[in-house]
Structure 1
Amino acid sequence: MNDPGAESTPASGEVSGNDFHGPTAFQVGDHNNQHIHHHVTHAAPTAVDPLDAAADELARVVGAQWQEEAGLRRLLEPAPLPVRWRVSERKVAGRVVGATGEGAGRARFGPLPGLGPATRDRLRDGGGLPELHALYGGLASGRLLLVGPPAVGKTAAAVLLLLDALAHRAARAAPADRARVPVPVLLSLDGWNPGEDTATDWAADRLSREYTLFHGKGGRARARQLLEQGRVSLFLDGLDEVAGRLRGAMVSALETAPFRLVLVSRAREAVLTAKRARLGGALAVEIQPVRPADAAGYLLNRLPAEPSTAWRALTGRLLTEPGPPAAGPPAAGPLAAALAGPLAIALLRDVYGDDDPVDELLDTARFPTPAAIENHLLDHAVVAAYARRPGHPRPRYSARTAERTLRYLAARLAEDGTRDLRWWHLPGWTGHRPRMIAVWIVSVVVCGPPGMVMAWSLYPTPPVGVIGVLSAIGGGYGVARRVAELSEPQPLSSAGWRDIFTPETVRSGIGQWLFVGTGLCLVLPLAFDPGPPIWLLYLVTLPIGFSELLVTGRGHKIISSTPLLSAGSGRRYDKVREGFARPQVVDTRSVGPVDVWRHHIGLRLFLGLLTGFALALYIGPIVAWGQYPLLGAMFALTAALWAGATSVLAGNLAVATALTGVQLHFEEGTPVRLVRFLEDARRRNLLRATGPVYQFRHARLQERLAARNVPE
């Protein structure tokens, strides 16, 4: 399907060949035979278009993100499974001529540099991945639907198409040509309300949250510009997971989107959606089931030169059974029908070793239907993923613990009607009272004694002692109440240290400190004789600069509810904070779940402790100068402990999640360090990461685990 005038030889880093690089799920490995090189032409600073630089950097980050993810899924593994597609005959889209633009006079999107226009003649016979990329880049309407039955490999095909598109863009040496090739970005549709946000607004918001390139001042505006100018194309997955009416609203809202679209959906849901709304000019192509001969060849390539009798029997049956047709009811052979998708093929190879009795799947009494075979493989997927393998470290978790945990997670997600597992929402999965009581006790025991000792040393009378005890109990309760606030779904406050320490916020903090400190140096000598030493005034006003830095950046929640430091941490200060957000980011990257977790459990935890020290520095020296040093030290210690407890123990999402992990360990038997378990499950290809969110690798696995979540 290549244009005769296009380049005939793939450029460096370009992917070619009709190859589906491995199964769609449940494999682990680090082999990677696709390399994407982004060539950036160096020009004089005055000649660089900021949007060109932003698009090139986004391409680099997206490439690194999906190279890693494809490696985890082993989509780039040698001995690949072919992927094939045909124009869908289902009532999903309009006429083909409406998508190709033939005879219409003017195409909405011109062919990408190096590609020719897509025509009906080129679509007639379908094709593989190279032809799919040519279709994506040459379709006049810029609207492509990837549909098919469950577990046929739609998302994997979309990922490989995205990598092909990035490789094609990287091969454009001329900046002018590269600027005409959009950067493909894969997003899930979860969380979009078309009644409130246009497609461009929603996509700009998602880009600004998932890529640090678009964080801070002007970031969302840059993302919007790239979208409006068609310099980003969106690969949207999960249409079939959205409620029916909302699906129709999304499709209608995408009609006017100014960028290229690739929409991925199960065929059944796509047909139902088309009855409500059709994506104008879209072309629907259907991913074809894996042919039995291809499945047998793939399995044999991963076996020893002399396979066992059981494996020879199974692959021999595949070669003789008729495969499933492209449409209509499954073929008579249950094995070929079950192994018609990359998911089941990957599961088969993971569940059964070289010498295992894989031929038991040929027993039609035990496995009379394709669904019976698939369910059997799904039921053993977790055990296979956590089995000890020669040459690999011992798994951190037993298969029993892993399966119990994943069943619980799957059931909770099913109960919430979502596939997205946001670790910072975990505190809402359990009752908050046990955590409140624990934080209350810790706060009273750790933070209360210094204040009580200080009060007793000043006024050693029984009433003061009672008041000190009651104050400690009341203060502990106030700290514990913040735990309940984090049980409600919270937005992510920040994802990296540059979100908080921007050049503007640092300059603002330093300026505020110098302004207040200098003002006191000028005013106080007029009222006091002698006045405090200058060094003391600058010392005690340093916390004011620290609080200014936090409240003008994305760290404002750290000091909320902290006495004397929390001014400006409320919502009314949001517009001011936006003005101080950074204009650009140096260390651009995609934000993953572990990145966000480490940021909250590391930097934000440290800043919470520093908030306690800041309040101590604000109060202690003044008391020490006005009274005596020991009393100042006691005031400082008391302030530091209570402020630290407020901002760290009860105000940090990662701490709240860690406490929830301990609670779930006793209530559900899950691992204590739950986030570490989630990342380990991702490495074992049971979960995947989409931005800062975890998902089960496949909806069928989540459904099966949720259905099996019964009391043991």
Structure 2
Amino acid sequence: MFGNVFNGLTAFTTGDHSPLSIHHHTRPLSRFDAAADELARVVHGYWNDEAGYRRLLSPAPLPVRWQVAGRNVAGPVAGATAEGTRARFAPLPGLKPITRQSLRDGGDLNRLHEVYGGLASGRLLLIGAPAAGKTAAAVLLLLEALKYRASHLDVREHIPVPLLLSLDGWDPRERAVEWAAGRISHAYTLFHGRKGRELACELLEAGRIALFLDGLDEVTGRLRAAMVSALESLPCRLVLLSRKGEAQLTSKKARLSGALAVELPEVAPREAAAYLLRAVPAQPPPAWQALTRRLLDEPGSVVAQALRRPLWISLVHDVYGDDDPVDELLDTARFPRPLDIENHLLDHVVTAAYTPRAAYPHRRPRHSPETAERTLRHLAARLNEEGTRELRWWHIPTWVAPRPRAVFLAALVGPTFGALSGLAGSYGWGPVRATLLGLFAAIGGAYVAGRLHVQFSERQPLPSAGWRDVFTRFSLGVGLLIWAVSACGLWYGYRLQEDPIPFWLCGILAFVWGFAATMVSGSGFGIVQGTFLGLGSGPSFAPLRKSDRPRVADTRSIGPREVWRHHIGLRLVLGLTAGAGFMLWYIPITARTYGWGYGAVVGLAAGSWIIFVPCLLRNLAIATALAAVQLSFTEGSPVRLMAFLEDAHRRNLLRAVGPVYEFRHARLQERLGR
């Protein structure tokens, strides 16, 4: 573990409101069953909320239609259905095996779930043109699979829990199962730590988890082929999402054995018109009537060609209100091509999202349309430069110069440390020497603080460890044992002297040793180790580290803002505890010889440095908050950038995938970045 990295959320979430919560059992649950049930509960809650943000639940979504793709994308259908041969996966309980005949006519979402659960190969390739709604279809299929599992509780051990992950950042040289377990560990607190990752691996190996993998079309061709080859060994059901063109190119180099490729076709004009009229009043305004009439009467018109894919149809609703002139899209002089309509919708979606509407008074924007668009344009440009779609908040400090942050922290830490040092020097030294000591301490502290932060301003990784990994039963047991032994040893040692101290004071003095033992034997050593020298970023002390067998408890999925908040909280608590523990040890010992006043100020001065390093100087979340202030001066973005990003997520401009944000669609990012 590295000191200034994400230390995942503790599993404090409680509540049984989810329909996937399980309260009564006819037999004791195994560790796998309990973990799978808890995972299903939290996955359902997360993606149900996310589907709401993405407008997939209300108004009623466009119907999911699919058809079998040609053989230039995947192998023969017989390889996927395995008719007459041994099936790799048995059908899910209650579903029938899929045959070539049953696939001939395609189907809807319910039929797609039957294909997912009854396909003998367990390999489903979901493809479509850009903006065809592949991710939306995958989210709806995932929710349908969870609903089916919840309705078959008696056989749920044979029904896997579906998880949607992004392929971005995977090196195919790493085993697919181990990579997926790592991503699951990042996304769900139940699987934090080494033992949690092992549990995720075991669930994957046992087929208790089904993987929905998005983003294959967003990596380079050679890497795509390597990923497809590496996914062959996955022992669980797999749904792989890709644009049709990239899937065809990849199939020339590598094909997923036994995969069935299904394609999402264009939306029929009558379905597009019905969807557009769902969210408007019962008596549609004339502009909306004119638009839908054109879709139905002239399916070859420019606007009908533009509104053949779910993204553009949903953007019409996002950009235009009930009384807005949506019929301007019919103007072929302004919009001679479908691409012109698409660009027009992309150019206005941010402004529309942050413009107050009388129909939605509870969604009054906190930011002006100009501020929102300016900020999102800057973020999109940054991501375009980096060639990625994932907005990692812990990379934001690298977007601006670290020197202003270093100067600010130096100005905060230096005078504080200097004042405490000068106050300590006033006990026994003259005022001149105490002042000089304080001045030198302030200058030295400011310089070291600035240098530490500048050195720390490079990109940091984000492994997952949290409260339960720092304070495991083993680490707490070790800490209590060391604390008790140290307290008894101190008490007995002072009893041999002429001036013994009370046992309660020995307990206070020994606290620092018990806390240090807890940090060393858990995962917190890298956060507070070597703080006098500012080295609070190293690995934990591996020989003593030991994790408990993972226990199943209420868990939660992790969003970017929650990760950021938790990172601040964990490091602040541990840094303050480390500093307080040192003071409790140092002050009484020094006070016995030099008096309580001297002991207090010297202990406070030394302990403050132990607090400053992990809490301020090497806290990535603090660096991100300060970088947001810098961006507000240089780019005009909101000072509370993380709150703005979450607000943009709720307005369906960004989407959250684990601890990172992504733009709603790659075209939106590309357009804004220009």
State the TM-score bracket (shorter-chain normalisation): over 0.9
User: Bigger shift: 636-645 or 252-261?
Assistant: 636-645
Say whether the 8 Å CA contact 1:216–1:584 is kept in structure 2: no
What CA distance in whole angstroms lies between the structure 2 residues aligned with 1:539 and 1:309?
78
- The correspondence for 1:62, drawn from 43, 50, 73, is 43
Aligned AA for 1:669? G
Name the residue aligned to 1:433.
403
User: Bigger shift: 470-479 or 282-291?
Assistant: 470-479
Pairs within 5 Å for 1:141-160: 141-160=121-140
- The correspondence for 2:354, drawn from 386, 402, 418, is 386
- The correspondence for 2:388, drawn from 418, 425, 439, is 418
- Shift of residue 585, structure 1, vs aligned partner: 4.9
- The correspondence for 1:692, drawn from 655, 659, 664, is 659
- Shift of residue 498, structure 1, vs aligned partner: 3.2
Pairs within 5 Å for 1:603-642: 603-642=570-609
Confirm or deny that 1:535 pairs with 2:504: yes
- The correspondence for 1:212, drawn from 189, 193, 206, is 189
- Change in Cα spacing, 1:524 to 1:494, as seen in structure 2 (3 Å) is farther
User: Bigger shift: 497-506 or 400-409?
Assistant: 497-506
What SS does the corresponding residue of 1:457 show, helix, strand or coil?
coil
What CA distance in whole angstroms lies between the structure 1 residues aligned with 2:18 and 2:27?
28
What SS does the corresponding residue of 1:263 show, helix, strand or coil?
strand
Q: String of CA shifts for 1:389-413, please: whole Å, max 9, x gaps.
A: 2222531111111111111111111
What CA distance in whole angstroms lies between the structure 1 residues aligned with 2:27 and 2:237?
31
- The correspondence for 2:225, drawn from 248, 251, 267, is 248
What CA distance in whole angstroms lies between the structure 2 residues aligned with 1:534 and 1:524?
10
**Which segments of 5 or more consecutive residues in structure 1 lack a partner in the other structure?**
1-33, 323-331, 708-712
- Shift of residue 168, structure 1, vs aligned partner: 1.1
Pairs within 5 Å for 1:434-473: 434-460=404-430, 462=432, 465-473=435-443
Name the residue aligned to 1:168.
148
Say whether the 8 Å CA contact 1:215–1:499 is kept in structure 2: yes
- Change in Cα spacing, 1:377 to 1:665, as seen in structure 2 (3 Å) is same
Aligned residues: 656
Say whether the 8 Å CA contact 2:632–2:639 is kept in structure 1: yes
What SS does the corresponding residue of 2:541 show, helix, strand or coil?
helix
Confirm or deny that 1:321 pairs with 2:298: yes
Q: String of CA shifts for 1:95-129, please: whole Å, max 9, x gaps.
A: 111111113x2011111111001111111111110
Name the residue aligned to 1:552.
521
Identity over aligned pairs, percent: 56
What CA distance in whole angstroms lies between the structure 2 residues aligned with 1:308 and 1:125?
37
What CA distance in whole angstroms lies between the structure 1 residues aligned with 2:665 and 2:443?
49
Name the residue aligned to 2:253.
276
What SS does the corresponding residue of 1:679 show, helix, strand or coil?
helix
Say whether the 8 Å CA contact 1:496–1:596 is kept in structure 2: no
Confirm or deny that 1:225 pairs with 2:165: no
Name the residue aligned to 1:112.
92
Name the residue aligned to 1:404.
374
Name the residue aligned to 2:646.
679
- Shift of residue 681, structure 1, vs aligned partner: 0.6
**RMSD between superposed Cα atoms in Å:** 2.1
What CA distance in whole angstroms lies between the structure 2 residues aligned with 1:604 and 1:395?
32
- Change in Cα spacing, 1:272 to 1:472, as seen in structure 2 (3 Å) is same
- Shift of residue 495, structure 1, vs aligned partner: 6.3
Say whether the 8 Å CA contact 2:157–2:208 is kept in structure 1: yes
Confirm or deny that 1:487 pairs with 2:457: yes
Aligned AA for 1:662? V
Aligned AA for 2:593? G
Aligned AA for 2:159? V
Name the residue aligned to 1:188.
166
Say whether the 8 Å CA contact 1:425–1:490 is kept in structure 2: yes
- The correspondence for 2:288, drawn from 301, 304, 311, is 311
Q: String of CA shifts for 1:192-246, please: whole Å, max 9, x gaps.
A: 1111x11111111111221111123521111111111111110000101112211
- Change in Cα spacing, 1:669 to 1:551, as seen in structure 2 (3 Å) is farther
Aligned AA for 1:681? A
Aligned AA for 1:182? P
Confirm or deny that 1:53 pairs with 2:30: no
- Shift of residue 565, structure 1, vs aligned partner: 12
- Change in Cα spacing, 1:685 to 1:142, as seen in structure 2 (3 Å) is same
Q: String of CA shifts for 1:282-317, please: whole Å, max 9, x gaps.
A: 010001111111111111222222222222211111
Name the residue aligned to 2:468.
498
Confirm or deny that 1:42 pairs with 2:25: yes
Name the residue aligned to 1:329.
none
What SS does the corresponding residue of 1:276 show, helix, strand or coil?
coil
Name the TM-score, length of structure 2 as normaliser. 0.93
What CA distance in whole angstroms lies between the structure 2 residues aligned with 1:418 and 1:431?
21
- Shift of residue 582, structure 1, vs aligned partner: 6.4
- The correspondence for 2:53, drawn from 63, 72, 75, is 72
What CA distance in whole angstroms lies between the structure 2 residues aligned with 1:583 and 1:169?
24
Say whether the 8 Å CA contact 1:141–1:282 is kept in structure 2: yes
What CA distance in whole angstroms lies between the structure 1 residues aligned with 2:569 and 2:60?
42
- The correspondence for 2:324, drawn from 356, 361, 372, is 356
Q: String of CA shifts for 1:164-191, please: whole Å, max 9, x gaps.
A: 11111111132xx211111111100012
What CA distance in whole angstroms lies between the structure 1 residues aligned with 2:413 and 2:316?
52
- Shift of residue 494, structure 1, vs aligned partner: 5.2
What SS does the corresponding residue of 1:200 show, helix, strand or coil?
helix
User: Bigger shift: 246-255 or 511-520?
Assistant: 511-520
What CA distance in whole angstroms lies between the structure 1 residues aligned with 2:547 and 2:242?
41
- Shift of residue 677, structure 1, vs aligned partner: 0.6
Say whether the 8 Å CA contact 2:423–2:434 is kept in structure 1: no
Pairs within 5 Å for 1:561-572: 561-563=530-532, 570-571=538-539
What SS does the corresponding residue of 2:153 show, helix, strand or coil?
coil
Name the residue aligned to 2:117.
137
What CA distance in whole angstroms lies between the structure 2 residues aligned with 1:690 and 1:223?
18
What CA distance in whole angstroms lies between the structure 2 residues aligned with 1:182 and 1:677?
36
- Change in Cα spacing, 1:678 to 1:581, as seen in structure 2 (3 Å) is farther
What SS does the corresponding residue of 2:373 show, helix, strand or coil?
helix
User: Bigger shift: 454-463 or 515-524?
Assistant: 454-463
- Shift of residue 694, structure 1, vs aligned partner: 1.0
What CA distance in whole angstroms lies between the structure 1 residues aligned with 2:673 and 2:469?
37
Name the residue aligned to 1:512.
482
Highest relative contact order (Cα 8 Å, sep 6+), 1 or 2?
2
Aligned AA for 2:575? G
Name the residue aligned to 1:100.
81
What SS does the corresponding residue of 1:602 show, helix, strand or coil?
helix
What CA distance in whole angstroms lies between the structure 2 residues aligned with 1:192 and 1:314?
44
Say whether the 8 Å CA contact 1:59–1:166 is kept in structure 2: yes
Aligned AA for 2:656? A
- Shift of residue 580, structure 1, vs aligned partner: 3.6
Confirm or deny that 1:646 pairs with 2:646: no
- Shift of residue 446, structure 1, vs aligned partner: 2.1
**Which segments of 5 or more consecutive residues in structure 2 lack a partner in the other structure?**
1-16
Aligned AA for 1:58? L
- Change in Cα spacing, 1:587 to 1:79, as seen in structure 2 (3 Å) is closer
